[in-house]
Amino acid sequence: AFGPESPRNPTPDFCIQRPRTIYGVSKVHAELLGEYFFHRYGVDFRCLRFPGIISADTKPGGGTTDYAIEIFHEALKAGSYKCYLRGNTRLPMMWIDDCIQSIVDIMEAPDSKLKQRT
């Protein structure tokens, strides 16, 4: 949802959003439409931004979190795994159970407790 002009480490929730991919543009578009329909028509819009979601039960499928799962599958199969990321590389990830719980929590949250919609 951000872009090269956005501040980093950590990126604040409210800052310039000028994504350069259709994926990022779609995310910003959906969030802004949701806010518009909330303010204009009272639609109960709630949105979460997730990092990469990981699960031990799902094999790698071509996403950014693949290496985190591949490490274990390959280590069990071959006895080792060579990761090409630098040791200090950080990629945001979230466990699937925590992801599901966060969705349940925001859907059950009273409207009066929400400070923002995205």
Sign of CA dihedral 34, 40, 41, 42: positive
Residue 7: predicted pLDDT:
62
**Is the domain of 53 the same as that of 30?**
no
pLDDT tens digits, 13-60 = 766 677 888 988 999 899 999 999 999 999 999 999 888 888 877 776
Q: Is 23 a catalytic residue?
A: yes
Question: Rounded CA gap, 109 and 99, in Å?
Answer: 15
pLDDT tens digits, 70-84 = 888 888 899 988 888
Out of 23, 41, 67, 81, the active site residue is 23
**Is the domain of 91 the same as that of 67?**
yes
**Is the domain of 20 the same as that of 53?**
no
**Is the domain of 107 the same as that of 59?**
yes
Q: Which domain holds residue 57?
A: 46-113
Q: Is 12 a residue whose pLDDT tops 70?
A: no
